[in-house]
């Protein structure tokens, strides 16, 4: 099987996971289990500012996370022709949350600025192979491990730190653009329902 290809169907929204190819990352499929986005009118040209604010907010949170900004391509061919987007890739420090990561993106969209983040889940390699060979062994919920109360609390805190960091950066830009921040929909979509 080629990198970036999957022979099994996935449920729900999907993202793709990274493979290293030069200076860019190429993604392969993984489940999006929580997401949030906003389109800021007349925000074009402010992506670097918002990225920097988000990174600063993540650092100030002092949460047990690690993050880096990466150029990510949706596939090998698109990566070769230069199609990629900047993301902040955030991971929690901790063994049980290793399959979870958050992709934060800020990009111009016409005269507007789109800001979004995606919490993704990827099965650990051995479990993914086992489910590929024996699909009847897959749990009813394909995207979430059986987390105990403490791990679920950590996952919610991890996603919340990223969400609050992003919301604060968006609010700062909207205030400078003389826009009403009370119109921001702070509720995320997915099984955590942060907001």
Q: Pairing state of beta strands 14-21 and 112-121?
A: unpaired
At 15 the pLDDT is: 39
pLDDT at 81: 72
Domain boundaries, the chain: 14-187
Write out pLDDT tens, residues 8-28.
333 333 334 443 444 455 555
- The pLDDT assigned to 136 comes to 62
**Cβ neighbour number for residue 191 with a 10 Å cutoff:** 12
pLDDT on residue 28: 53
- Between 87 and 147, the higher pLDDT residue: 87
Report the candidate in 57, 75, 73 with the shortest Cα–Cα distance to residue 65.
Answer: 57
Of the pLDDT bands very low, low, confident and very high (cuts 50, 70, 90), residue 7 is very low
pLDDT tens-digit map of 39-80: 999 999 999 999 999 999 999 999 999 999 998 877 666 667
pLDDT (mean) for 105-127? 89
Residue 4 — left, alpha, or beta (φ > 0 → left; ψ -120 to 50 → alpha)? left
Lowest-confidence region among 39-53, 94-108, 123-137:
123-137
Rounded to an integer, what distance in angstroms lies between the CA atom of residue 74 and that of residue 40?
24
- Cα(148)–Cα(155) distance, integer angstroms: 11
Distances (CA, A) of 17 to 22, 46, 100, 109, 183: 16, 27, 11, 24, 33
Confidence of residue 191 (pLDDT cuts 50, 70, 90): confident
pLDDT of residue 185 exceeding 60, the answer is yes
pLDDT at 17: 40
Copy the structure tokens of residue 82. Answer: 């230069």
The pTM of this model reads 0.78
Six-digit token string for 89:
């890739």
Q: What is the CA radius of gyration of the chain?
A: 17
How do residues 132-172 score in pLDDT, each as one tens digit?
A: 676 666 554 454 557 788 989 999 999 999 999 999 999 99
The distance from CA 58 to its chain's CA centroid, rounded to whole angstroms, is 14
More confident: 31 or 117: 117
Q: What does DSSP assign to residue 149?
A: H
- For residues 109 and 97, what is the distance between their CA atoms, to the nearest angstrom? 32
Q: What is the mean pLDDT of residues 109-126?
A: 89
């Amino acid at each position: 099987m080629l990198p970036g290809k999957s022979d099994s169907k996935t449920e729900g929204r999907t993202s793709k996971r990274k493979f290293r190819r030069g200076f860019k990352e190429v993604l392969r499929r993984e489940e999006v289990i929580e997401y949030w986005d906003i389109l800021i009118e007349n925000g074009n040209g402010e992506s670097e500012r918002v990225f920097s604010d988000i990174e600063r907010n993540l650092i100030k949170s002092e949460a047990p996370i690690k993050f880096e900004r990466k150029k990510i391509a949706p596939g090998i061919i698109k990566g070769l022709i230069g199609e990629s987007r900047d993301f902040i890739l955030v991971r929690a420090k901790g063994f049980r949350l290793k399959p979870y990561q958050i992709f934060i993106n800020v990009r111009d969209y016409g005269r507007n600025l789109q800001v979004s983040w995606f919490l993704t889940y990827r099965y650990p390699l051995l479990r993914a192979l086992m489910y590929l060979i024996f699909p009847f062994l897959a749990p009813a919920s394909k995207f979430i491990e059986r987390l105990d109360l403490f791990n679920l609390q950590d996952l919610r805190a991890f996603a919340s730190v990223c969400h609050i960091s992003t919301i604060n950066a968006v609010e700062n830009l909207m205030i400078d653009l003389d826009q009403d921040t009370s119109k921001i929909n702070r509720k995320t979509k997915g099984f955590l329902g942060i907001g």
